[in-house]
Amino acid sequence: MKDVKIGNLTPGKRPLIVVPLTDADVKSISDVRPASMIELRIDMFSELSKDHIITILTETKTKFNVPIIATCRAFEEGGAVKIKDSSRIEIYSAAAQYADAIDVELNTGIFHDVLDIANHRKIPLIASFHDFTKTPPLHVLESLLEKSKNAGADIMKIALMANTTDDIRLLTNFTIEYCDSGIVCIAMGAIGMASRVFFPLIGSLFTFASLETTTAPGQISLHEMAKFYDF
């Protein structure tokens, strides 16, 4: 894996915690420590105008002084609202001016448009895939990783629902096998909660924890997560 920098951080050097925030969270929260990064969930913003997005991004940078991942999640993969593709491209274009990385779904029709935006701004692109119902077989995960590499993504993020302990074993083996490929692996749901702590210790580049906003089933609170790492 080539070194990828998100702001002043190089994922993979140590376990990193990302905390998802909305615009309301940015206004109400005074501190995100010990989180390493912020994910701004623009699809969950109260307003999607360019001016509002830029205002929140600049306020987030000034207030918290940690790297920002910006995403506007597609409704089909867990987004809060349905947003037209053309509007999402405009949102990503605005966000990329101030974000340190952007995250877009690997299988979305606007993937290459967002990749062009990231490349133009010289920031990393995270290609993501979410399945809130199941964990697909290993060959599907491998094909997703290969697709993301071929497409030009810097990091592949896979978030899947773990329904059995076999799902956890599969995702554990996948994370270990491909830990040098620039992956983030997340097992959602109650069965997957422990994996949110130990996957970064076996090769997943970062994990997610909640402050005010929980964006996936089984997400652990930031302060509970921080107990497992020495910051």
Catalytic residues: 130, 157
Distance of CA 45 to the CA centre of its chain: 16
Angle in degrees, CA 203, 209, 214, rounded to 5 = 135
Both structure tokens of 1: 């894996």
List the beta bridge partners of residue 103.
71, 126
Cis peptide before 34 (omega within 30 of 0): yes
From residue 206, alpha-carbon distances to 9, 68, 200 in Å are 11, 13, 6
Nearest to 131, CA basis, from 175, 86, 171:
171
Residue 189 phi, psi (nearest 5): 90, 170
